[in-house]
């Protein structure tokens, strides 16, 4: 039986409508609320740590989660500002939508496991003609929203209409525990007076709506007192992607295409910078700060290994001289082949891509970090979107 179909509740009233966009003032108020609440909780925990004179692992983990939430909201606001300013130039191209979703779920598997969320997939082969980086951002926003609202399980489904050929992506989850929905809650929901649905309209949802609108997708959200289903319908297009993907990637002789596939980096990508020297970390931070990335830093291979055990980034920029990084790189690539790595060499004035056997290694010289690292990271991220 279809895993999503099992969640259907035909005996309960549903709200199905085109999403209503809030006024700017309401959006700003929501932004203040979403930033202030976790920051207040973080401050309280810091004060508790200070008074206790120790670092309890559970408290420290909760503090990290609160700060992470604030940072994600900040990144979302940056992206919304970019869309509002009209700084989006789309380059439509043939995409394997099913593979992109699989890659996104795989990259964030540790996060879903840490949250105790079960992921179920029923993904038919489907393609779309769209801007790669925007679709990447769309999937990240969808996962952000589902992860923050889901109680325990998310069902993802991709299906294709035969004519006109049209891909449809659905995600369904329980946003409330069904056994806690009594007659009073149902009546309040059906009357439109349910005050607890606010978390479903978070900044992640606002960003999801904005990206879908920019891409020209049809977005619908269906709610019951405890279930939520979102549907994204892509414009009609030819689903036979193989010939055009081959053309985009180059011919059999290895000649490059006229322009690089996925020529812009996805905003909001997560990058881990690993360098033992503060000076090197600061150079990387300064060079990448305008890209709208989510940056984390580690000062050793062990710290990087520990970081990746909790959450996998999209890219790792690392100091070439650090011992153990090559072994870590191989191990992480075995787990997530799409993970991007860029070495920071002690000497050099440029960005180079060398090949050892079947392995390509991207390297930026120490004197080229400020000028070349953003372009190198953009190029490497764009190749695997």
pLDDT tens digits, 254-308: 333 333 334 444 567 889 999 999 899 989 988 988 777 888 888 899 989 988 8
Which pLDDT score is estimated for 252? Answer: 35
Task: Using alpha carbons only, give the angle 171, 131, 383 rounded to the nearest 5 degrees.
Answer: 100
Which pLDDT score is estimated for 263? Answer: 42
Which pLDDT score is estimated for 166? Answer: 87
Cα 69 to Cα 77: distance, rounded to the nearest angstrom: 12
pLDDT tens-place string over residues 77-101: 877 877 777 777 888 989 999 999 9
Residue bearing the bigger pLDDT, 331 or 14? 331
Q: Is residue 245 predicted with pLDDT exceeding 50?
A: no
pLDDT tens-place string over residues 107-133: 999 889 988 999 999 999 999 999 888
Closest CA relative to residue 146, chosen from 174, 113, 114, 106: 174
Question: Do 242 and 127 touch, CB atoms closer than 8 A?
Answer: no
Same domain membership, residue 106 and residue 75: no
Phi, psi of 305 (to 5 degrees): -60, -45
pLDDT tens-place string over residues 164-208: 778 999 999 998 887 777 777 677 777 666 666 677 888 899 999
Name the residue range of residue 211's domain. Answer: 89-246
- Which CATH number characterizes residue 150's domain? 3.30.565.10
Which pLDDT score is estimated for 315? Answer: 92
Same domain membership, residue 366 and residue 226: no
Closest CA relative to residue 114, chosen from 73, 157, 68, 176: 68
Same domain membership, residue 186 and residue 116: yes
Closest CA relative to residue 155, chosen from 118, 105, 113, 192: 118
- Which CATH number characterizes residue 364's domain? 3.40.50.2300
Which pLDDT score is estimated for 235? Answer: 87
Same domain membership, residue 285 and residue 172: no
Read off the DSSP letter of residue 256: P
Task: Classify residue 2: in a domain, yes or no.
Answer: no
pLDDT-derived band at 51 (thresholds 50, 70, 90) equals low
Cα 8 to Cα 306: distance, rounded to the nearest angstrom: 40
Same domain membership, residue 299 and residue 339: yes
pLDDT tens-place string over residues 318-364: 999 898 998 999 999 988 888 999 999 888 788 888 776 677 788 99
Same domain membership, residue 94 and residue 200: yes
Task: Classify residue 257: in a domain, yes or no.
Answer: no
Same domain membership, residue 96 and residue 80: no
- Mean pLDDT over all residues of the chain? 78
């Amino acid at each position: 039986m279809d895993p999503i179909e099992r969640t259907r509740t035909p005996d309960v009233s549903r709200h199905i409508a085109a999403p209503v966009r809030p006024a700017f003032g309401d959006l700003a108020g929501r932004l203040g609320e979403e930033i202030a609440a976790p920051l207040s909780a973080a401050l309280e925990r810091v004060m508790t740590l200070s008074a206790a004179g120790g670092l309890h692992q559970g408290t420290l983990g909760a503090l990290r989660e609160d700060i992470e939430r604030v940072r994600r909201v900040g990144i979302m606001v940056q992206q919304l500002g970019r869309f509002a300013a009209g700084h989006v130039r789309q380059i439509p191209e043939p995409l394997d939508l099913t593979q992109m979703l699989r890659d996104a779920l795989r990259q964030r598997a540790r996060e879903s496991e840490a949250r105790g969320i079960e992921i179920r997939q029923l993904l038919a082969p489907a393609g779309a003609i769209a801007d790669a980086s925007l679709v990447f951002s769309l999937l990240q926003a969808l996962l952000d929203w589902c992860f923050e609202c889901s109680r325990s399980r998310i069902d993802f489904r991709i299906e294709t209409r035969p004519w006109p050929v049209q891909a449809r992506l659905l995600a369904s989850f329980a946003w409330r525990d069904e056994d806690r929905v009594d007659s009073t809650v149902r009546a309040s929901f059906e009357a439109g007076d349910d005050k607890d649905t606010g978390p479903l309209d978070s900044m992640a949802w606002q960003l999801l709506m904005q990206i879908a609108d920019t891409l020209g997708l049809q977005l619908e959200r269906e709610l019951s007192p405890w279930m939520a289903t979102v549907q994204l319908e892509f414009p009609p297009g030819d689903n036979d992607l193989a010939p055009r993907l081959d053309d985009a990637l180059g011919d059999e002789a290895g000649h490059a295409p006229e322009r690089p596939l996925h020529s812009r980096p996805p905003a909001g990508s997560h990058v881990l910078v690993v360098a033992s020297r503060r000076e090197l970390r600061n150079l990387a931070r300064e060079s990448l700060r305008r890209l709208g990335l989510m940056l984390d830093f580690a000062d050793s291979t062990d710290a990087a290994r520990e970081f990746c055990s909790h959450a996998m980034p999209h890219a790792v920029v690392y100091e070439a001289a650090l011992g153990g990084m090559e072994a870590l790189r191989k191990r992480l690539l075995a787990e997530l082949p799409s993970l991007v790595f860029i070495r920071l060499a002690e000497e050099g004035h440029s960005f180079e891509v060398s090949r050892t056997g079947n392995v390509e290694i991207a390297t930026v010289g120490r004197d080229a970090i400020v000028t070349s690292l953003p372009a190198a990271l953009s190029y490497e991220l764009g190749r695997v979107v």
